[in-house]
Amino acid sequence: MPLHTAPDVERIHRTAPALDAPFADVMAGSARWEIRVHDHGFAALVDSMPRMVPTLAGQAPTADFAIVQAARVSYGAGTKKISEDRGLIRYLMRHRHSTPFEMVEFKFHMAMPIFVARQWIRHRTANVNEYSARYSIVADRFYHPALEHVRAQSAGNRQGGAEIASAATAEEFLAYLQRVEEQYADYQRLLEKGVSRELARIGLPVSIFTEWYWKCDLHNIFHFLSLRLDEHAQQEIRDYARAMYALIKPIVPVACEAFEDYRLNAMHLTALEIEALRSGRALASDNKREQAEWDAKRARLGV
């Protein structure tokens, strides 16, 4: 067809597969669902794919439909008799069939401290476009934790915090942050004197906020959430993960239920752990970390 020729819209409409159910917007006509995080941050859902889905009488529209639709095309005619939608989605999650979950995508607008963003960006399966401090002036927004949220270094985890720091130490740390934040005035002053934005930004701390648009498919969002909702993840990024999960759960409730049952709240056992559990003997490993992990699993299992 020549590029200047309009497509035969009527013919396309006639040959499209008919659906008995009416369609509805999974975001109920909203342009944005937003949850505030910390003093200056937010997690906002700005779009979903699919956005319009078929509805059934008495049921809220959900994008779980797209997961089932994609899965059934692999099997051919008659698949609908094998299982109801919920059972199929749970089967897919249970047996790690990831492709159908990739048929659902979400786009978020996020504002978070740079130190959270640097952890987040390690998940390389999303499309990201971040606020650029080369082109724009960074706003005067800093993450400043409350006194009771200042954590001491974990004795068993080199990259994590554990119990709350002493009151005196926490106050000293917050005073340090206050002095760092006061340097923002120097950033502004030097910009006004003509220092380029791309250079002036290098003196800003990682507690200052950045923003980005982040688009990802559901399979990889679940992978992100399985790591960042874990109790070993840094508290600040867990706060954003909880907000993200709260935003998508109404749109894919069945998939989220399966995610919670088979990923988030589930447990993976190694071959050594299965043998120890079966035999009732100690774990056949002298690795201290493996032993500690097995002890934690045993405690959770109550054995």
Q: Which residue has the tokens 């701390």?
A: 205
Among residues 50, 49, 48, 45, the alpha carbon closest in space to that of 213 is found at 45
* Torsion of Cα atoms, 155 then 160 then 166 then 167, to 10°: 180
Q: Contact 101/225 with Cβ under 8 angstroms?
A: no
What are the φ and ψ backbone dihedral angles of 8, each rounded to 5 degrees?
A: -80, 85
Cα distance between the two ends of the chain: 69
Residue 141 annotated as catalytic: no
Query: Which residues lie below 8 Å from residue 47, measured CB to CB, with a gap of 6+?
Result: 27, 106, 107
Among residues 255, 254, 266, the alpha carbon closest in space to that of 229 is found at 266
Catalytic member of 228, 238, 242, 263: 228
Can you give the three-state secondary structure of 50-101, one letter per residue? CCEEECCCCCCCCCHHHHHHHHHHCCCCCHHHCCCHHHHHHHHHHCCCCHHH
Cis status, amide bond into 50, omega within 30 of 0: yes
For 87-145, give the DSSP string: HHHHHHHHTT--GGGGG-EEEEEEEEEHHHHHHHTT-TTSEEEE--TTTSPPPS-B---
Catalytic residues: 228
